[in-house]
Amino acid sequence: VSPLGTESPTQQVSGGSTHDHTSPTPTFALDCCGWPGWMVAAADYLEPQAGTMGEIWSTLLEEWNIFERWHDFENPKNACYTAAGRPPIVGVWFKGGKRFRALTPKEALDGKIKDLDKTWPLWWSTINPDWRERDNTNKIVLGSDGQGDWLALNKLGPCGILLVIMCLVWWKQLLSDQS
């Protein structure tokens, strides 16, 4: 049974938490065959976010699934992006055992989540390929027509592209907390 489907009302994940899949949040089916535990736990947390993250969210998660599957769900030690300019919340998440759940108020404070709207775009620029066009504040210019490979972003496992996805969830949490 897919951890992202509605066939099972609950899904047990690592850490012992149970997540209810009977809520009215939009669901979509990912091929979870052969997933390692970290991917099941991540998907179980990320899928319900679809209701607040917008239409493109399910496409992002489907592409993430394809990417990880293409790489046989590897979790190599050298798969982390650079720590240079990395948002502090990432370090807090690492220290907390990379648990897939909403941040606690202490984690949000310690991780300076209130600054994520400033730190994340700069880190995103740092981890992107050099050929990508940047503006005068060093942020990636969306829609520019650069040419080159994407190997700089080819990072696998919980510390790879999934970390970028988690940052987007935390950013959304910040926006929700501010309203």
Read off the pLDDT of residues 26-84 as tens digits, 9 standing for 90 and up: 455 677 888 999 999 999 999 999 888 988 999 999 999 999 999 999 888 888 999 99
Mean pLDDT (the chain, rounded) = 83
pTM of the entire predicted model: 0.80
- The arithmetic mean of pLDDT across residues 98-118, rounded, is 93
CB contact set of 103 (below 8 Å; sequence gap of 6+): 89, 92, 111, 113, 170, 173
Instruction: Using only the alpha carbons of the chain, give its radius of gyration.
Output: 16
CB contact set of 9 (below 8 Å; sequence gap of 6+): 20, 21, 22
Can you give the residue ranges of every domain in the chain?
1-73, 78-179
Q: Where are the alpha helices (DSSP H) in the chain?
A: 37-46, 50-53, 56-70, 88-95, 105-110, 116-127, 161-178
